[in-house]
Amino acid sequence: MATCTGIPERRANVSPTENLLSDAKILGVDVSNVTEAELARAMSDRRAELWLKENAEAIESSNAYVEQHGLPFKKYRMF
């Protein structure tokens, strides 16, 4: 199966409660779109967490430098 973008889709099982599905239907909420959007958001959040973890040493080093020496090129800042 492919979307209108030509990107293939793959089915996955989700198991929301019956009440949740009923309410979504009544309110006209497209469960598939919400699920896809939330999955994308969760993945983005996780990638950010991993990036921070992987780069913690460099961030700490940079912060220590700024604490000790101040911001580089501070004299050229316009604000």
Segment 14-70, tens digit of pLDDT: 899 999 999 999 999 999 999 999 999 999 999 999 999 999 999 999 999 999 999
- What pLDDT is stored for residue 12 in this prediction? 87
pTM (2 d.p.): 0.68
Q: What are the extents of the domains in the chain?
A: 18-71
Segment 1-16, tens digit of pLDDT: 556 678 888 888 889 9
Q: CA of 46: how far to CAs of 7, 36, 53, 68, in Å?
A: 23, 15, 11, 32
* Alpha helices (runs of H) in 1-79, residue ranges in sequence order: 18-27, 31-54, 56-69
Nearest to 19 by CA among 7, 9, 8, 27: 27
